[in-house]
Structure 1
Amino acid sequence: MNGTSPPPQFNEMVRVAARIGCLSFGGPAGQIALMHRELVEQRKWISQDQYLHALNFCHLLPGPEAQQLAIWIGWKLHGIRGGLAAGLLFVIPGALVILALSIFYASAAGLAWFAAVFLGIKAAVLAIVVQALARVAGQALGTPFRKAVAALAFLALFLFNAPFPLVVIGCGGLGAMVARYRPAWLGLGTAAPLPPHSPRPWAHSLWSIAIGAAAWAAPMIVVLALLGPHHVLWRIGLFFSKLAVVTFGGAYAVLAYMAQQAVGARHWLSAAEMADGLGLAETTPGPLIMVTQFVGYLAAFRAPAPFTPLVAGILGAGLTTWVTFAPCFLWVFALAPWIERLEHARLLKGALALITSAIVGVIANLSAWFALQVLFAVLRPVRIGPLALNVPVLSSFDVRAGLLVVVSAWLILGRKWNVAATLGVAGLGGWLLSLA
């Protein structure tokens, strides 16, 4: 590999992957930067061009891009076993921490000091989500057409309660068509792409899909055989398996849809608890989409039969984590050998470009949803024809939450504090305000 060091021994790669997994705070931007520093700049195991091409490839896939990038790097260095090791070590530290925090959360719920601390954490998370919105919008909305699509996606979700998967798939299809006939609307060049010269590794991809799909489905088959299709574990696994296929844009993009389904349709937890879960995920290493594990834990904890609540919660968290992250290995192992061809696929680039623009609208919807949940104690559902709104009752405005949001926004946007420090100060502020 030109410009790189010889591939490391497998044991050395595992050690570095474990270090990255334990230090991967700060969401996908921080995790991608950490891997670049450790693997490209310091150790030179991967070249700059390889890293950027792989990152573009991972953006094409559903699921957390930082997780998939870790899998790809492990695969590039040591094949399937390298991908498995790097991918698992990227997830396991954060999964264990989130599980411990979920157990503590379920047992401490209702305590006054606990609620006060989480008021501050939720206020900080609102500022973090707004920061993510500004960052993604700055990168994704390079043309007027893409700005218009982002605005329409927000309106469809916020005003009409449109299904998240429908918005993502619709924008992807539209992007492919626009890339074919009006590529300039997406900021794509008009020159015909060069034909790739890499081989077509059909056998490798088909075997990867078959084995990956079997591994993905295995625990679900066990749940179905032992507990049946009406048990909460089956419903948890089925929901998060579907979610894993449409999670373009990461946790921020999918959270509002997950809340819509887990809170409104399935009643697994409250909107306030969903907001708490994102706060917990922000404080831990690993992918932010790990918030799904928190939801799975509470859903099973509250409908535990025939298990104890603790055992059911652990099973729910484990199943959620499996069906959320197992597809990441499937996508990467099946498609990584096609990376050169994917780089030249104009229609796929167009679909991804418009999905990315739509994700800005999705995150804007999340910001609005999250702001209403944090700042107002009472929301009144209103339907006007096709419009479906949650209108805040102004008298229920929480002054303490408003103050904490302003302070958190100043720290993270104005002072450029990191996420962990902002969450700590906001949590302490929530506790202090509860004493006043």
Structure 2
Amino acid sequence: MTDAAPPAAVHWKTALLYWCRLGFISFGGPAGQIAIMHADLVEKRRWISEQRFLHALNYCMLLPGPEATQLAIYIGWLLHRTWGGILAGILFILPSMLLLGLLSWIYLAFGTLPLIAGILYGVKPAVVAIVLAAAWRIGSRTLKNLLLAAIAGAAFIAILAGLPFPAIVLAAGVTGAIGGRMLPNKFRTSAAHAQAADRPHAPALLDDHTPTPAHARYSLRALCLVAAAGLVIAATAWGLLAWQYGAEGTLARMGWFFTKAALMTFGGAYAVLPYVYQGAVENFGWLTAEQMIDGLALGETTPGPLIMVVAFVGFVGGWTKELFGPDSLVMAGAAGAVVATFFTFLPSFIFILAGGPLVESTRGNIRFTAPLTAISAAVVGVIVSLAVFFAEHVFLLDQPPSGWDFTAMAIAAGAAFALMRLKMGAVPVIAICALAGLMLSYVS
């Protein structure tokens, strides 16, 4: 422990400016976003201690949904009550939604131009490499023994066999719950979090032993009220869409579909993308498989959570279905993007604002890590299956003479080497591959 004084209370305007800035610079996926918040809020600004930061992160990792977004909501709520959490979450995701909406419009309006087509030719193989790198990164942290590797392999086979993703998550969670009791050593997480509390640190505004703020104290009545308010907001929003455009209309279907997707996002966006693909491409026809790959590439190049790719899916779906007629395609796309984003992220706000006080009351007594460990292992298998799916659409030529696109495979191999061996970030890799695709389009 050092002799430094804890920082002064954070003014709400200072916090809002920080969350807005974070929304514009949060590249690198959840790991990068969490690392940025840790460096800023724990080490530099000292708004929260490392122990409390990791305690909040543990809870967010147990939830479906984007953990970095949920962590921002949690810390915003701790600092400035309910509206602090709401505004922290909104400002964290808003820049990404606006930028991805703009890119979606450019893609749909000008995507057939040779310039854009050449860029996308180089970007698509990079996406395959990025998904494989994600599987490797998560797997290297998660698959610590043969039992967890077996769970990953079973999930890979199950998703290829057509089993629904929620069933796979449920089965993995049950396996972890049982295995945690019978073979606890096989499902034990790293002790790094426990060791964090023992390291000397300068005092933080919300330190290890700082009393829980009044608004963050647990009560069953408050939990029920917040949860009920969230459900009323969700039901009212969906009801208005159904009343205005019909329960079977595209926007109402999007609202219900992305709510279900949000509740299945265990282990990050890559894990739920097969479910989003199945619904958006195969069941509803909002976009094509190729457009889904392109949307993931655009999502990788923008700040914010990767699950924001749902904004692209919603934009393309609204545009494709011509919701407001052929003369209002941009408005239809924007409506689809807003609906997809709203219903995808609303559960995260409800989980944090309702469950936060309960989590604060259990500091030092984290539970359910064994089911989380098993689910994380299953997610590795699901992500690998996603890479196989993307590779099939990128590397197999569907026009005579059919066969393998070895040029695309070479680009993917180079991207994978840069990501996994050279440790380059996704954004520069995508930029290099886009340039390569552009150059090849002029050569060929």
Cα 1:343–1:372 shift into 2, 3 Å: farther
Cα 1:336–1:267 shift into 2, 3 Å: same
**Match of residue 89, structure 1, among 88, 91, 99:** 91
**Match of residue 145, structure 1, among 147, 170, 178:** 147
Tell me what 1:388 maps to.
none
2: CA distance, partners of 1:332 / 1:369: 33
Tell me what 1:358 maps to.
378
**Match of residue 204, structure 1, among 215, 222, 228:** 222
| Superposition pairs of residues 98-137 of structure 1, within 5 angstroms | 98-137=100-139
Identity of aligned residues (%): 38
3-state secondary structure, aligned to 1:175: helix
- What's the CA shift for 1:424? 0.7
- What's the CA shift for 1:179? 2.1
Tell me what 2:255 maps to.
237
**Match of residue 433, structure 1, among 426, 435, 440:** 440
Is this contact kept in 2: 1:143–1:185, CA < 8 A?
yes
Asked whether 1:35 is paired with 2:19, we answer no
1: CA distance, partners of 2:189 / 2:98: 42
1: CA distance, partners of 2:291 / 2:363: 40
- What's the CA shift for 1:150? 0.7
- What's the CA shift for 1:343? 6.2
Post-superposition Cα deviations, 1:217-266, rounded to whole Å, max 9, x if no partner, equal: 33211111111112111111111111111111111111122112211222
Tell me what 1:313 maps to.
333
Is this contact kept in 2: 1:179–1:188, CA < 8 A?
no
Asked whether 1:21 is paired with 2:23, we answer yes
| Mean CA deviation greater in 358-367 or 402-411 | 402-411
2: CA distance, partners of 1:150 / 1:162: 14
Asked whether 1:289 is paired with 2:289, we answer no
Is this contact kept in 2: 1:4–1:46, CA < 8 A?
no
Tell me what 2:237 maps to.
219
Post-superposition Cα deviations, 1:33-75, rounded to whole Å, max 9, x if no partner, equal: 1111111111000101111111111001110000000001101
Asked whether 1:410 is paired with 2:411, we answer no
Q: What TM-score do the two structures reach when normalised by structure 2?
A: 0.89
Is this contact kept in 2: 1:174–1:354, CA < 8 A?
yes
Structure 1 stretches of 5 or more lacking a match? 190-196, 380-392
1: CA distance, partners of 2:223 / 2:237: 23
| Mean CA deviation greater in 170-179 or 240-249 | 170-179
Structure 2 stretches of 5 or more lacking a match? 191-210
Tell me what 2:177 maps to.
176
**Match of residue 355, structure 2, among 335, 347, 350:** 335
Tell me what 2:322 maps to.
304
3-state secondary structure, aligned to 2:397: coil
- What's the CA shift for 1:284? 0.5
2: CA distance, partners of 1:377 / 1:407: 20
Tell me what 2:188 maps to.
187
Aligned residue type for 2:243 = A
Post-superposition Cα deviations, 1:111-156, rounded to whole Å, max 9, x if no partner, equal: 2221221121111122211111111011111222111111100011
3-state secondary structure, aligned to 1:116: helix
| Mean CA deviation greater in 293-302 or 3-12 | 3-12
Is this contact kept in 2: 1:216–1:322, CA < 8 A?
no
Tell me what 2:168 maps to.
167
Is this contact kept in 2: 1:375–1:402, CA < 8 A?
yes
2: CA distance, partners of 1:305 / 1:129: 32
2: CA distance, partners of 1:288 / 1:305: 26
Asked whether 1:52 is paired with 2:54, we answer yes
2: CA distance, partners of 1:142 / 1:224: 47
2: CA distance, partners of 1:170 / 1:125: 29
1: CA distance, partners of 2:297 / 2:333: 19
Is this contact kept in 2: 1:219–1:319, CA < 8 A?
no
Aligned residue type for 1:168 = V
Is this contact kept in 2: 1:143–1:186, CA < 8 A?
no
Cα 1:140–1:100 shift into 2, 3 Å: same
Is this contact kept in 2: 1:301–1:313, CA < 8 A?
yes
